[in-house]
Each structure stands twice: as C-alpha cells, then as structure tokens.
Amino acid sequence: ARQSRRAMLPELLSVQSFAQALALAANAELKLMLYEGEACWSFRESIGSLRPQSIALLVGPEGGFSSEEVSEASDAGFVPVNLGPRILRTETAAIAAAVLIQGYLGDLC
C-alpha cells in the first residue's frame, strides 16, 4: 500500500473452483469474465461511466471457459469481456485486465 499509495488494496484470491469463485463474487457491484468468444463486450463498453466500489474478475484456465461455465457465470451476473484479438496466457491476462480496469477507473495517468 505504501509503494502504490493506495488506501485500499485489491483482494487477490488463490485459485478457486468455479462454483466457489461465483459464490465469492456474489456481492460485487461489477462482475467481469474474460472470455474470447464472439459475444463479448470490450472493457470500455462494460465499465463505461460506472465507478463501482467492487469488481469481480473471472480469469479462466488455459484453454478458456467451457460453454457451461460461461452460461453459469452469465446467470450469476457476469459480463463477458475480451482483451482484443490476441489470446494471452492466464497470468498475463489477469495482469492486463487489472491494468485496464485501473485505467478506466482513472487510477492511471
């Protein structure tokens, strides 16, 4: 917190089962799921002018989410978003998504 001068630290959780992840995100104001499918929103479209106090981000395993997982996440209120035309490694996608979220929320120059 001192290095980044943040009053509040993001909560990063260890690997969870899919059901656990959905349950943990139940109260998030904005729920985003990284998904490489065609019916996806961009980060700009999904965040828009929102300034949520809490964001849940689902980052899938190598190979992506199954269609059943996408359906379950959608039913739980998650919006599928993508990072553009390139497929990134899971760990890279998580970092890229966090940076994009910070940027859209005005937390970066």
pLDDT tens string 73-96: 999 999 988 888 888 899 999 999
DSSP string for residues in the chain: -TTTT-SS---------HHHHHHHTTT-SEEEEE--SSS-B-HHHHHTT---S-EEEE---TT---HHHHHHHHHTTPEEE--SSS---HHHHHHHHHHHHHHHTT---
Residues of the chain with pLDDT under 70: 1-10, 38-41, 43, 48-49, 107-109
User: For the domain that residue 90 is a member of, what is the CATH number?
Assistant: 3.40.1280.10
Residue 69: domain span:
18-104
Task: Flag whether 23 is in a domain.
Answer: yes
Q: What is the pTM of this model?
A: 0.80
Q: How many domains does the chain have?
A: 1
Task: Flag whether 31 is in a domain.
Answer: yes
